[in-house]
């Protein structure tokens, strides 16, 4: 095995197959795709990449599988299926666009769908079929997309998936914030395969689940959905969207770019003032912000769901407020099941129930708490290039 030094997990031991996958051009591109998109404009240390996150997720998959194996939970699960879990964890972000998730918000195909041909074809597909079997690339894609019937699916995609544990710990470390503290050792040791069918957790691990829940909420509220991060993200989305509309860029090209490669391409195509403002960190300012708890859902949910309508509304609002097209941007971030907790719990007496249907042993209804925290983290914001006079009443009127 090769050992790679890592600032979060220290020594990551890499098996031969993983090393060959890492050396493919598609995986090497991840070195140049930032994990947190434009958050480095707010948190200067947040320049870490999808590459190191993928290595960390792979490391956690090896730790989790070793723990389950020692407990005897894997005795009926074929070794090849375990190897596919490690490969899926390593490759789960290979289809990511430049600057992370932002472009999915403007209607670009989900990065998991983009990953399919990268994994099933070319050098990666050939390598996986050779080492793990003819159907392994397709099974790995199903794991990444959360569509597999494997009892280990929950390690890749689910309420306790290893991806969440890794990115929360790494993002907090690199941003220099104290919000991503998770009792990951307790979590990993409390994980179990319930009835040989699904990943669940023993009751003793519920306090660690709470730590994951609060860490995720704090990171969304203070880092991922920080107002300046969302301003930069809104500017980037509009920049790319306008470039797509002007045929200076095609959707098929997006997943092949690195962060800087995309910006250089847009610069060569004569992109508008938004690019210069991002380069120089002259971010749009908040004209107004309203917590989601004070907005009827139907009034603003479409901003996250219907990009074309959002752009048209931005332009119409800009005109009414004396601004040019692109000088006013709407932002109402959404994350499906951001704090979802669909989880089977093995109680101390051996019974199994759904966490969504029962409070934790300490009396906290974790599912209700998760829903409340999600709403608390969401804000409707209007960012503008120049100051404007905008009240909540006027905003809702314009949106309507």
Q: What is the pLDDT of residues 104-134, one digit of tens each?
A: 999 999 989 999 999 999 999 999 999 999 9
Of the listed ranges 15-19, 211-215, 219-223, 243-247, the least confidently predicted one is: 211-215
> Which of 174-188, 255-269, 357-371 tops mean pLDDT?
255-269
Number of structural domains in the chain? 1
Whether 174 is in a domain gets the answer: yes
pTM for the whole structure: 0.94
Whether 346 is in a domain gets the answer: yes
Per-residue pLDDT, 68: 96
Q: Find the helix packing angle between 122-132 and 79-91, rounded to 10°.
A: 160
* More confident of the two residues 297 and 354: 354
Alpha-carbon distance values, 78 to 110, 153, 188, 247, 357 (Å): 30, 14, 21, 49, 32
Per-residue pLDDT, 325: 95
Residue whose structure tokens are 């989305």: 237
Whether 320 is in a domain gets the answer: no
Sorting pLDDT into bands at 50, 70 and 90, what band is 340?
low
Q: 3-state SS of the chain: helix, strand, coil percent to 5?
A: 55, 10, 30
Whether 283 is in a domain gets the answer: no
Per-residue pLDDT, 392: 87
Domain containing residue 82: 13-225+336-376
CATH number of the domain encompassing residue 45: 1.10.3210.10
Per-residue pLDDT, 181: 81
Per-residue pLDDT, 338: 57
Dump the DSSP string for 4-31: EEETTTEEEEE-HHHHHHHTSHHHHGGG
Whether 316 is in a domain gets the answer: no
Q: Are 272 and 242 in contact (CB under 8 A)?
A: yes
Per-residue pLDDT, 157: 87
Per-residue pLDDT, 296: 76
Average pLDDT, whole number, for the chain?
A: 91
Whether 188 is in a domain gets the answer: yes
Residue whose structure tokens are 């998109």: 37
Whether 326 is in a domain gets the answer: no
* More confident of the two residues 276 and 363: 276
Whether 217 is in a domain gets the answer: yes
């Amino acid at each position: 095995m090769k050992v790679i030094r890592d600032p979060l997990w220290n020594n990551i031991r890499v098996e031969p197959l993983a090393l060959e996958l890492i050396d493919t051009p598609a995986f090497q591109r991840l070195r140049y795709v930032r994990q947190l998109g434009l958050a480095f404009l707010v948190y200067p240390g947040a320049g870490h990449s999808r590459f190191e996150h993928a290595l960390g997720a792979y490391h956690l998959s090896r730790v989790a599988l070793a723990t389950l194996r020692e407990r005897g939970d894997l005795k009926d699960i074929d070794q090849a299926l375990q190897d596919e879990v490690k490969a899926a964890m390593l490759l789960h972000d290979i289809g990511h666009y430049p600057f992370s998730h932002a472009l999915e918000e403007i209607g670009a195909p989900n990065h998991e769908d983009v990953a399919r041909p990268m994994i099933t074809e070319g050098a990666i597909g050939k390598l996986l079929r050779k080492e793990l079997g003819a159907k392994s690339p397709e099974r790995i894609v199903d794991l990444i997309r959360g569509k597999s019937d494997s009892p280990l699916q929950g390690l890749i995609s689910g309420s306790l998936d290893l991806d969440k544990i890794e990115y929360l710990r790494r993002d907090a470390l690199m941003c220099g914030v104290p919000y991503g503290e998770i009792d990951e050792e307790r979590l990993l040791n409390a994980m179990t395969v319930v009835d040989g069918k699904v990943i669940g957790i023993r009751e003793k691990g519920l306090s660690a689940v709470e730590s994951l829940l609060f860490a995720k909420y704090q990171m969304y509220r203070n880092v991922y959905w920080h107002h300046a991060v969302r301003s930069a993200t809104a500017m980037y989305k509009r920049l790319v969207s306008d470039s797509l509309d002007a045929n200076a860029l095609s959707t098929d090209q997006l997943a092949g770019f690195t962060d800087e490669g995309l910006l250089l391409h847009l610069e060569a195509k004569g992109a508008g003032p938004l690019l210069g403002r991002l380069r120089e960190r002259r971010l749009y300012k908040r004209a107004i912000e309203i917590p989601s708890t004070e907005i009827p859902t139907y009034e603003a949910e479409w901003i996250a769901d219907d990009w074309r309508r959002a752009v048209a509304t931005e332009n119409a609002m800009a005109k009414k407020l004396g601004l040019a097209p692109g000088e006013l941007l709407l932002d109402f971030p959404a994350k499906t099941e951001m704090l979802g907790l669909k989880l089977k719990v093995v109680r101390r007496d051996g019974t199994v129930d759904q966490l969504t249907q029962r409070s934790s042993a300490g009396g906290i209804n974790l599912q209700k708490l998760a829903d409340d925290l999600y709403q608390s983290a969401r804000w409707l914001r209007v960012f503008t290039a120049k100051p404007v006079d905008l009240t909540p009443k006027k905003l809702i009127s314009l949106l309507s």
